[in-house]
Amino acid sequence: MNTLLLRQLRKFTGSENVPSDLTLLFNAISDAYDQNDEDRSLSDRTLEISSKELLDSNNELKKALEKVQETQIRLIHSEKMAGLGQLIAGVAHEINTPASAIFHSIDGIQSNFLKILENIILIVKNFNHTSIEEFLSLYNKVIHFNKKLDTQKCREAARMMENVLVENNIDNARNVSSNLAIIGFTKNEIPDFINFIKGNHEWQICYQTLHKLGMVEIHVDDIRIAIDRIINIVKALKVYCRVEQNEILLTDLQEDINNTLTILHNKIKRGVTIKKEFQEIPKIKCYPDQLNQVWTNLINNAIEAMKGTGVIIIRIKLDKPSIIVEIEDNGPGIPKEILPRIFEPYFTTKPKGEGTGLGLSISMEIIEKHQGKIEIQTEVGKTLFRVFLPIDIKTNLEKKHA
């Protein structure tokens, strides 16, 4: 019998001898207590084991989730680098072109500058004071001429000046007028030039000096343009290749899309016209490197769909509570039979070795991560991808990121 029950029973009866009928009853109660203690002990052990197993399973699930997230990040980055690998030849060409322009411009400046110095020395020695002043007046005008006339306007100016030069019996009028037009002369300035050369038999040396001076300025401007081009390409590459996949940053979608167009310029410039219809929108906090990958995929797909020739319209607009980015092309459209599959992982219509089939799948995943969505409209002669991003995306992402 349970010791506690026996003690209480003796106290209750006032005797050390417990009646047999009560003894049987209390033995049964005692057995029930003992069994209950055993059951409770077993239950506690079972609960302890179950709790440990649950905790272990939870930890394993957490590790598995972290591994999936890491794999997802690597997959996104791998797809981005694969895309960049396909573009790298074009990017290299985009850098090589302005670099070559700089090299040739420097070479031109060097040769022209030395010849200018030689000619000025001869002019000072051989021309009278009046002629030198007239030459310096033309020299000063050349420095301030507009040398950015387009080809058509330059030809028109050359043709008008050629007629005037022919009327005044100037030798080699066509070549002279063409060179003068390149450095900024127009019909309005040609009278001063004619008055000068009529009074100087050795006008050719002055003409050559003025032309070389103008060409030096043109070369300097070419170098400035080329350097700006290289800077923009490098800037776009830095933005595109950054690896902070999980870093939330404040970004300007218009600037990001312009950077993407810079990366794709070698594909675009041959036969693709880009039309930008950008409304003023606020900067947003997001994963800009991942969104840049979406813009690259969608624009590159549009270029390839049009076979490198056509018109792409990119729109950015504010439609509360969303920011909408639209990328529209005038290609052949997407066939109805494959339209339901275009966002499937590894689905591609490209020949083997030309595509991973992950571009649109990852793009959809990235947009959904930003609590947005992608819509598509397609028909013969038009395909439009419409991306919705919530304006308050920063709040949702920061909570999730925290």
The 3 state secondary structure assigned to 72-103 is: HHHHHHHHHHHHHHHHHHHHHHHHHHHHHHHH
Q: Kindly tell me if the per-residue pLDDT of 315 is higher than 90.
A: yes
d(CA 13, CA 31): 21
Least confident of 34-43, 204-213, 226-235, 287-296: 34-43
Higher pLDDT, 319 or 242: 319
Q: Kindly tell me if the per-residue pLDDT of 4 is higher than 70.
A: no
Q: Kindly tell me if the per-residue pLDDT of 325 is higher than 60.
A: yes
Query: pLDDT band at residue 257, thresholds of 50, 70 and 90?
Result: very high
Contact predicate 253/284, CB 8 Å: yes
d(CA 147, CA 19): 128
Q: Kindly tell me if the per-residue pLDDT of 278 is higher than 90.
A: yes
Query: pLDDT band at residue 10, thresholds of 50, 70 and 90?
Result: low
Contact predicate 263/297, CB 8 Å: no
Contact predicate 385/327, CB 8 Å: yes
Provide the pLDDT for residue 61: 74
**Side-chain-side CA neighbours of residue 398 (13 Å):** 8
Least confident of 38-47, 98-107, 221-230: 38-47
Contact predicate 232/258, CB 8 Å: no
Which residues, in sequence order, are bridge partners of residue 323? Answer: 318, 389
Averaged pLDDT, 285-295: 86
Q: Kindly tell me if the per-residue pLDDT of 31 is higher than 70.
A: no
Q: Where are the domains of the chain?
A: 3-60, 94-230, 243-401
Contact predicate 112/179, CB 8 Å: no
DSSP letter at 340 equals: G
Provide the pLDDT for residue 188: 85
pTM of the model: 0.60
Give the total residue count for the chain: 402
Contacts of 252 (CB under 8 A, 6+ apart): 283
CATH class of 243-401: alpha beta
Q: Kindly tell me if the per-residue pLDDT of 352 is higher than 80.
A: no
Provide the pLDDT for residue 342: 81
Averaged pLDDT, 347-362: 68
Provide the pLDDT for residue 277: 94
Average model confidence (pLDDT) across the chain: 80
Averaged pLDDT, 118-125: 88
d(CA 188, CA 184): 11
Averaged pLDDT, 239-266: 79
What are the strands, taking DSSP E only, across 150-304?
249-251, 272-278, 284-286
Provide the pLDDT for residue 324: 94
Query: pLDDT band at residue 310, thresholds of 50, 70 and 90?
Result: very high
Least confident of 219-223, 266-270, 355-359: 355-359
Provide the pLDDT for residue 253: 92
Query: Based on the number of CB atoms within 10 Å of its own CB, is 334 exposed (0-12), middle (13-18) or buried (19 or more)?
Result: middle
Q: Is the peptide bond before 390 cis (omega within 30 degrees of 0)?
A: no
Averaged pLDDT, 190-203: 81
Provide the pLDDT for residue 22: 59
Least confident of 44-53, 131-140, 196-205: 44-53
Q: Kindly tell me if the per-residue pLDDT of 81 is higher than 80.
A: no
Q: Kindly tell me if the per-residue pLDDT of 18 is higher than 90.
A: no
Higher pLDDT, 72 or 130: 130
Q: Kindly tell me if the per-residue pLDDT of 319 is higher than 90.
A: no
Q: Kindly tell me if the per-residue pLDDT of 26 is higher than 70.
A: no
d(CA 179, CA 90): 34
Higher pLDDT, 258 or 27: 258
Which sign does the torsion angle of CA 268, 270, 272, 278 carry?
Answer: positive
Provide the pLDDT for residue 279: 92
Contacts of 264 (CB under 8 A, 6+ apart): 87, 90, 296, 299, 300, 303
DSSP letter at 28 equals: H
What are the CA-CA distances from residue 247 to residues 100, 243, 254, 260, 397 (Å)? 38, 9, 20, 19, 10
Interval 294-304: pLDDT, tens: 998 899 889 98
Provide the pLDDT for residue 68: 60
Q: Kindly tell me if the per-residue pLDDT of 46 is higher than 90.
A: no
Contacts of 102 (CB under 8 A, 6+ apart): 222, 223, 226, 227
d(CA 253, CA 239): 12
Q: What is the DSSP string of 130-146?
A: HHHHHHHHHHHHHHHS-
